């Protein structure tokens, strides 16, 4: 088991170092979600009291789209110089690679959310009426839900034509329950009208089910060539 985690950590450290040096994905995501925020401002009155009801959805749409930008980059990097082929013939477990990639994306998207959250507060004049601390588990669980399936489907779409187009087509339908839960939880925390408890439990279920499925089936996808 020690070798599993050492491989995972080595891959994760490599990815973080690469991202730290280039900052390609992070910059693209930040700018992209900033654009989404600004463009949405023009589609409704952002300072009205009722906009509190839609901001939960808007935040997650911005992060979902931005995450797709990062997820598309995940595996493309490994295709150059046949890194992925080298990995495939090595005795290292494929799931270690998957866990490392998913964790890397998770850190990246979480960082994006931490940086973008103040902007949302400023631009949409947000005040949280419910228990604000619940936003943290919702954000973490929701991000993991997007990222774990996103990493998996990005690996799957490597084998297809026009793979950048393929990822959202595969990811969005399967992500619908997670998106419903994230948006409903965030909205109920912002408005303070309902308890977000049910949706947090739903997110936990979603995360457990799909993390298991991804880890269990990743070797099949990795070896598919």
Partner 1 sequence: MKKAFPILAVLTAFLLAYAFYQAMFVAPTDALQGDVYRIIFYHVPSAWTAFLLFFINFVASVHYLADAKPSTQRAAKWIAIAVGIVGVIIPYIPQVRGWLQTIGMYPSSAATTALMIPALYFVIGKLFRGQDVDVLAVTCAEVGVVFCTIVLITGPIWARPVWGIWWTWDIRLTTTLVLWLIYVSYLVLRRFSDSSQTPKLAAVLAIFGALDVPLVYFSIWFFRTQHPQPVIGGGGSIDPRMLHVLLINWLAFSCFAFLVCWSRYRLELLQREVEEAESLESLSGASQ
> Pick from 14, 127, 159, 197: which binds partner 1 (CB under 8 A)?
159
- Count, residues near partner 1 per rule CB under 8 A: 30
Q: How many H-runs (helices) and E-runs (strands) does the chain carry? A: 8, 0
Q: Does 98 bind partner 1 (CB under 8 A)?
A: no
Token pair recorded at residue 150 = 């996103």
**Residue 214, number of CB atoms within 10 A of its CB:** 20
Q: Does 89 bind partner 1 (CB under 8 A)?
A: no
**Residue 83, number of CB atoms within 10 A of its CB:** 12
Q: Does 161 bind partner 1 (CB under 8 A)?
A: yes
Q: Does 160 bind partner 1 (CB under 8 A)?
A: yes
> Pick from 40, 60, 124, 210: which binds partner 1 (CB under 8 A)?
210
Quick note: the x/- pattern for partner 1 over 188-207, rule CB under 8 A, is ----------xx--x--xx-
Instruction: Give CA–CA dist 19/105, Å, rounded.
Output: 11
Name residues whose C-beta falls within 8 Å of residue 195's C-beta, 6 or more positions apart in sequence. Answer: 188
Q: Which is nearer to partner 1, 24 or 164 (CB)?
A: 164
Query: Quick one: CA torsion of 166, 73, 212, 181, rounded to 10 degrees?
Result: -70
Compute the least distance from the CB of residue 201 to partner 1, in Å: 10
Q: Which is nearer to partner 1, 24 or 194 (CB)?
A: 194
Task: Tell me the H-state helices in 23-162.
Answer: 24-41, 52-79, 83-89, 94-123, 135-157
Q: Does 225 bind partner 1 (CB under 8 A)?
A: yes
Q: Does 213 bind partner 1 (CB under 8 A)?
A: yes
> Pick from 9, 16, 107, 180: which binds partner 1 (CB under 8 A)?
180
Q: Which is nearer to partner 1, 80 or 161 (CB)?
A: 161
CB-count exposure of residue 157 (10 Å: 0-12, 13-18, 19+): buried
Token pair recorded at residue 107 = 């850190």
Token pair recorded at residue 202 = 């739903």
Q: Does 177 bind partner 1 (CB under 8 A)?
A: yes
Place of tokens 């009426």: 129
Q: Does 132 bind partner 1 (CB under 8 A)?
A: no
Interface with partner 1 by CB under 8 A: which range of 22-30, 55-63, 101-109, 152-160? 152-160
Query: Contact residues for partner 1 (CB under 8 A)?
Result: 149, 156, 159-162, 166, 169-170, 172-174, 176-177, 180-181, 184, 198-199, 202, 205-206, 209-210, 213, 217, 220-221, 224-225
């Amino acid at each position: 088991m020690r070798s599993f985690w050492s491989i995972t950590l080595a891959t994760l450290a490599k990815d973080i170092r690469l991202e730290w040096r280039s900052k390609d994905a992070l910059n693209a995501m930040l700018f992209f979600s900033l654009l989404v925020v600004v463009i949405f401002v023009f589609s409704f009155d952002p300072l009205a009291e009722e906009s509190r009801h839609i901001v939960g959805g808007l935040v997650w749409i911005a992060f979902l789209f931005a995450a797709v930008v990062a997820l598309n980059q995940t595996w493309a990097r490994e295709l150059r110089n046949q890194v992925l082929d080298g990995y495939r013939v090595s005795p290292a477990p494929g799931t270690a690679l998957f866990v490392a990639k998913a964790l890397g994306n998770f850190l990246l998207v979480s960082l994006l959310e931490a940086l973008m959250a103040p902007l949302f507060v400023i631009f949409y004049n947000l005040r949280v009426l419910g228990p604000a601390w619940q936003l943290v588990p919702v954000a973490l669980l929701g991000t993991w839900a997007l990222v774990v399936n996103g990493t998996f489907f990005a690996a799957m779409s490597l084998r297809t034509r026009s793979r950048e187009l393929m990822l959202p087509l595969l990811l969005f339908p399967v992500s619908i329950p997670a998106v419903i839960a994230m948006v409903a939880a965030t909205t109920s925390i912002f408005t303070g009208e309902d308890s977000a408890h049910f949706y947090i439990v739903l997110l936990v279920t979603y995360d457990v089910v799909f993390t298991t499925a991804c880890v269990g089936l990743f070797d099949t996808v990795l070896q598919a060539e």
